Structure 1
């Protein structure tokens, strides 16, 4: 494949966008989980989409094939879409470090947070536009007029003008946002708006995220979802999960010649061979010790350092418990230039802790070379955790919360963004009204460690809520309805 050059002079013949391989999956496989009535509704929705599309394609474009909730969601949704007979394809853009530094700043601004990064001036906008145009020209070698293309998040907005000129139906989907619009969100929208004026429809995860300038435009609210049959969410028995977590060095008691086995998606038996690419731990947590877990990207808005400080400074509520902060290999998420810095900051903080605190806190970066193995490692950790935390300072939706709920785990999470839509406090989990309140986090997590009955009740409520509201059939139905409207326009 020819290298993509970030210049307005790049010709379409010089480049193709990378396409992600998709193995079709029959959406009827969801039937045993969602029941016959929901399965029939899903079949009707996708049949209607097939009829409305005819020979046209459904195409999604984002910035990375791995390393975040958007990439995981696209893989699942598009597999089911293709398995239902729709020509669904997935491409990722290519860009330079300056571009991704800019889009990371836009990411923070859309969350209502200021951040260091490139200034949003005319020079930066010109570079952003040039990258978008080059990627759009490359994409137009693979899409045709009338195809439905969904662009995801700030990294892709610059493709919209060129795609519109070529007769493509364009949707822009934002997975991030904040309920309280302010000078930071205004700054981000002022930068992005010129690139989005020709978009045919917009998708947001919450109504509150929609900016006022879209009042008269076609806007849909579609919340993310999880696949109960994916490697991260399908059943995994306790013994297998425990063996995998021991293999990762996050539980003591590893046995000689013990094998960490799991069932792969194709039905074969897989073995977790890899260990964390980076592990900071004085010794594995004892098998009997309660384990608090937060799994997130190494992003400052996930507040991994804040979780660590909350845990380390508590002297009563969390005594005897261990904390694991786990994220992806920081070299494997190409569109997030902050990951290495955030992880390094957490490691530095860990080294400064008193020995007693450091002995009970563990930092790990999981390998991403095998996506299914990575997913099973995450699943095993979630299933072995006593309490799952998501103390984000801001959150678009929070699929790590959804995953924990599906596994019947008690969750302590910040009452921000889409987490509010998932959890009713005291019914499906516990919410922190102030995500900066470290004492409150320690008290809520410690309360769950001491009250097995409450933890079990919240876990059961969480599982029921995830089943009812946050599985992939719901998102597939909503998406099919939107695409049918656009195909008919």
Structure 2
């Protein structure tokens, strides 16, 4: 953890850079300061090299954090944009200021970059009038090759080439463009498809708070068996969902009529499937289930789960494929195994969540985080002590009370060994909110109330709770500087945050829930325990705190043994192979299915992961 993280001297800034002849015209907007025009000479450098050097030197000298930069007039804007993103953590925007040159062009570029961010310096998500999500280009394609074998990358390129030649159009549909793993994956996937030249688009449903209450508290929670026993999907709920589905279907009708494959993410848009069939009988439809469906309760006709599943299955059964995480227990018996495909969740190694940040870059995000804690009435973390972390939505399935209890037991064990409070770790529980998740705020408040109970009040100052705005690099920083991570979910789909922790060299202590055991090599990159066994969680955390040699070994293995099947290139290939299912590439689809079957986790494996 960085001891300088609470230094409030770093100011956010934006810039526009216009290359013209042998000069670069620069316009700066320093937040809380003034706007400045600067002109620099190339000094025998290429324009791209000179711009990079100047931005790095000026930000260090003036203690600035450039959030975004508008670029114009450069010979290779995508390449300089990639380097600014990966090396200096600056979001690049290519823009052509019509009819402008020199300082005027630079000012236009700066203004355009600033407009892409909120007053709090969070990237705005652009959704067009027809509800398409626009993504920001960050890197080129070549840099992804190191995250895939040559064989697999060649297959990916071949699949993309066939999609282009056949002029296939692919659409992904989900509930929200921000919040939760699905939105994160879709941003990365659509960016990646742009690099491949694939005609892929991402649509988000028209939001409705009443419907989201139904889809989250009733449909989602009932299927995961994390709801009160008397929860029922009522006739009024069904009518609300059906009418909302109809309205969205009508809204997206023109898009559906012009597509070759539609991927439906989770129950929220499942009601669109019959309409897509009506509008375009030639389009393939793929239903993607991201959550842990407790299939045995459905198969045993448990009233709550069976009723909700029957309601959804009437729509889902019309899809051509059912895609699930590679865990058979997530798939109800009614799903035709010939149309079942196992695909894990994925994360992007080059997005804001996972790219490597420098100490100086992380210092800015620590500044942002400390201010957030202050605004919530909490003191910043003590930089002289390590901290343990769980990153997850404030959700009834995420085991947040278990994290608090495991931390209490750990601190008690350390006190018994003679550790003073100053020599013990802190705890950080953070998560993002989402428009389709109405439970986040109440569960956050409930967790804060737990800390005021006699059981936990003596630890309250060392536990930080944060329901954060969406900022990928902020979460990246918090994970990267932590000592170890917890993931104590009781119910889970795949929870790709586990892999994101491992990529940063953080051992993960987790329950054997959902797809989590697929990602952790027990005893090598982390520890798996039975659900509710908070005492063992505390024991494993204590072991890693005391045994530095073991910790270093686990950290190294976590960082160097990431399964590339959980990264964007592999995921992109799997979706393309499904979109091409009616072509000569059926064998690649079979290959991908066979590959993932080798990673299917059975109940026997779960029970034997000791």
Q: Deviations over 1:410-464 (max 9, x none)?
A: 1111111010111121122111122x12212211112111122222222222223
Structure 1 position 342, deviation (Å): 0.5
SS in 1 for 2:211: helix
Whether the 8 Å CA contact 2:327–2:515 is kept in 1: the answer is no
1:367 is aligned to 2:469? yes
SS in 1 for 2:173: strand
Task: Report the aligned-residue RMSD.
Answer: 2.4
**For residues 154 and 194 of structure 1, what CA distance do their matches in structure 2 show?**
12
Structure 1 position 478, deviation (Å): 1.4
- Name the residue aligned to 1:94: 206
**For residues 60 and 487 of structure 1, what CA distance do their matches in structure 2 show?**
20
Structure 1 position 116, deviation (Å): 7.2
**Superposition pairs for residues 48-67 of structure 1, below 5 Å?**
48-51=162-165, 54-67=166-179
**For residues 385 and 193 of structure 1, what CA distance do their matches in structure 2 show?**
42
**For residues 323 and 257 of structure 2, what CA distance do their matches in structure 1 show?**
22
User: Structure 1 residues 239, 355: closer, same or farther in 2, change over 3 A?
Assistant: farther
Q: Deviations over 1:203-241 (max 9, x none)?
A: 111241121111255121111111111111111124533
Which ranges of 4 or more aligned residues in structure 1 deviate by more than 6 Å? none
**Superposition pairs for residues 380-419 of structure 1, below 5 Å?**
380-419=477-516
User: Structure 1 residues 112, 28: closer, same or farther in 2, change over 3 A?
Assistant: farther
User: Structure 1 residues 454, 49: closer, same or farther in 2, change over 3 A?
Assistant: farther
- Name the residue aligned to 2:290: 175
1:424 is aligned to 2:516? no
**Superposition pairs for residues 213-362 of structure 1, below 5 Å?**
213-242=334-363, 244-249=365-370, 275=372, 279-281=376-378, 283-314=379-410, 315-317=412-414, 320-328=424-432, 330=433, 333-353=434-454, 355-362=457-464
Deviates more, 1:464-473 or 1:357-366: 464-473
Whether the 8 Å CA contact 1:294–1:389 is kept in 2: the answer is yes
1:106 is aligned to 2:203? no
User: Structure 1 residues 133, 404: closer, same or farther in 2, change over 3 A?
Assistant: same
Structure 1 position 242, deviation (Å): 4.7
- Name the residue aligned to 1:206: 326
Whether the 8 Å CA contact 1:31–1:38 is kept in 2: the answer is no
Structure 2: gaps (5+ residues): 1-127, 587-610
- Larger relative contact order, structure 1 or 2 (CA cutoff 8 Å, min sep 6): 1
Residue correspondences, number = 439
SS in 1 for 2:438: coil
User: Structure 1 residues 149, 117: closer, same or farther in 2, change over 3 A?
Assistant: farther
Whether the 8 Å CA contact 2:263–2:288 is kept in 1: the answer is yes
1:440 to 536, 541, 564: 536
1:470 is aligned to 2:582? no
**Superposition pairs for residues 97-136 of structure 1, below 5 Å?**
97-104=209-216, 105-115=218-228, 119-136=232-249
Structure 1 position 487, deviation (Å): 6.5
SS in 2 for 1:128: helix
User: Structure 1 residues 342, 38: closer, same or farther in 2, change over 3 A?
Assistant: same
User: Structure 1 residues 18, 277: closer, same or farther in 2, change over 3 A?
Assistant: farther
- Name the residue aligned to 2:9: none
**For residues 557 and 238 of structure 2, what CA distance do their matches in structure 1 show?**
47
**For residues 132 and 37 of structure 1, what CA distance do their matches in structure 2 show?**
42
Please give the TM-score of this superposition, normalised by the length of structure 2. 0.68
**For residues 141 and 336 of structure 1, what CA distance do their matches in structure 2 show?**
29
Rg comparison, structure with higher value: 2
**For residues 277 and 147 of structure 1, what CA distance do their matches in structure 2 show?**
50
Q: Deviations over 1:293-341 (max 9, x none)?
A: 111111111122321232134401486110011112x4xx110011111
- Name the residue aligned to 2:160: 46
User: Structure 1 residues 399, 89: closer, same or farther in 2, change over 3 A?
Assistant: same
